[in-house]
Amino acid sequence: MKTNISIAIFAGMLVSGAVFANNADQVVGLSALSNAMGGAVVATPQDVTTALTNPAGLSFLNMGDQKSRFDMNLSVLNPMRSMNGVDSDSEAYVMATGGFAFQSELLGPDYTISVGAYPISGGGVDFPAEAFKLGNTYAAIVSSRMSMRIGPSIAYKASDKLSVGAGLSLVVNQMSAKGFDKTTATPTTPPKSLNFPTDVAYGGSFVLGTTYKINDRTNFGAAYTSRSYTEDLQWNMDDGKWGLSFEDPQTVAIGISHRPTDKLQLEADLKWVDYSGVRTSSVLYGPTAAQNINIAYGWDDQYVLGLGAKYRLSDRFILMAGYNFGNSPLDEADINNNTGVTAIIEHHLSAGVTANVTRHSSLSFSVIHGFQSEMTASVGAPTTVSFETNLATLQFTYQH
């Protein structure tokens, strides 16, 4: 099996695209409200993004007198990444997401339906050549990746206390990467670049959830999200077609929320992310079997704790704050197998505010900060990576 493309570099580019406030390469929250709550939204829904986190929450979502709701988010991302002391050139991203929920007269008031489009991971890196040394020469690391979920969800309110829900999503997996042929490198010249242009692979995933009101002040929620089942990414190169299977992990989440007073809501969530099922290793398929390349990512499972608080300051204003911790699925021994990786942040703090601007609409704003994390490879070259991030999101909500 040939290894003419640097395995470590290519593996790193494939997973280094996440720049959101993230748990490894998955987002903490899908909206301003969910980020403000530190991602703790499984037990009590905050907006229509509950369609992905726990679709059963749609039954208990505040949707207005006519039982319809629309949420639109605009986010500005500011990732600060460095490798061996050299910063990535890509430091700002803008994205928009949206979804709506409603109850239909055809199905009756026990059913709530939602449709939306939400990125669950994405971004990119653009490290100049001096960031990574290959022998006596240097190589640039450039990549871009986005994974999105688009589709419907439905919740059934079995009683005043119990709801169950399910969602089915079209998965859109987009990736590009810049690799190189290390056999062309000399002591004085860099290796020949191999550019893998943007390719899009499609597939599907599903989510199941339940919400139970223990009493008027306490909710329990649980949800299962399947791994993504997608076709392989494929690139037409000069020497033939290359392919890669790259999927997102399955997750299991539970949460409990409690309102100690009429104005204050608290929530705690725990989530398991099965990275070992999709990020342990893979094969980059070449034009011939002899050109196939084994890629060893070495990711471990992640356990995420989300804590959120929501306080109604007045009839017009609501304040929110959150904390999120997720252990890094990588350790120092994995750094050189994931060169350029940005999946090492563990601690996040967030805050947000909602203002009711009319009878039917509100604006919410949140900021979430991922605290700087740094790792130096313990195997091979002493590559050092550092990652810190900020995410600001403005959300418009309309209820009718």
34: its two tokens: 């969910």
Nearest alpha carbon to residue 14 among 231, 178, 236: 178
One-letter amino acid at 322 equals: G
Q: Bridge partners of 384?
A: 376
For 145, how many CA atoms within 13 A lie in the half-sphere containing its CB?
27
Q: Alpha-carbon distance 82 to 347, whole Å?
A: 18
Which of 320, 294, 306, 349 lies closest to 10 in space, CA to CA?
A: 294
3-state helix, strand, coil in the chain (%, to 5): 10, 55, 35
Where along the chain do its domains lie?
A: 7-399
CATH code of the region 7-399: 2.40.160.60
223: left (phi over 0), alpha (psi -120 to 50) or beta: beta
Beta bridge partners of 165: 155, 209
> What is the pLDDT at residue 42?
98
Give the strand pairing for 264-273 and 251-258. Answer: antiparallel
Residue type, 38: G
pLDDT at 3: 44
Q: Write the DSSP string, 72-97.
A: EEEEEEEEEEEETTEE-S---EEEEE
User: Is 58:50 a contact under the CB 8 Å cutoff?
Assistant: yes
Question: How many of the other CB atoms lie within 10 Å of CB of 218?
Answer: 15
CB atoms under 10 Å from CB of 107, counted, come to 12
* pLDDT the model gives residue 341: 66
Contact 375, 330 (CB under 8 A): yes
Under DSSP, the state recorded for 389 is E
On the CB side of 108, how many CA atoms lie within 13 Å of its CA? Answer: 4
Nearest Cα neighbor of 400 from 62, 120, 1 is: 62
pLDDT at res. 114: 97
Question: Given this model, what pLDDT does residue 142 score?
Answer: 79
1 DSSP 8-state letter: -
Distance, CA of 49 to CA of 52 (rounded, Å): 6
What is the C-alpha separation between 225 and 228, in angstroms, rounded? 9
Mapping DSSP to helix (H, G, I), strand (E, B) and coil, where does residue 335 land? helix
Strands 233-237 and 162-181, bridge-based pairing: unpaired
Q: Which pLDDT score is estimated for 4?
A: 45
Q: Give the pair of three-digit tokens for residue 199.
A: 């390719």
What is the b/e burial string over 17-51, where b = at least 16 CB atoms within 10 angstroms of the residue's CB? Answer: bbbbbbbbbbbbbbbbbbbbbbbbbbbbbbbbbbb
CA angle (24 as vertex; 21, 26 as ends), nearest 5: 65
User: Which residue is it, tokens 């076709």?
Assistant: 231
Six-digit token pair at 77? 């991302």
Q: What is the mean pLDDT of each run of 10 residues along the chain (400 residues)?
A: 48 53 85 97 96 97 92 91 82 86 92 94 77 68 85 97 97 81 59 76 96 97 96 87 90 98 97 93 87 85 97 96 95 79 87 96 96 87 86 95
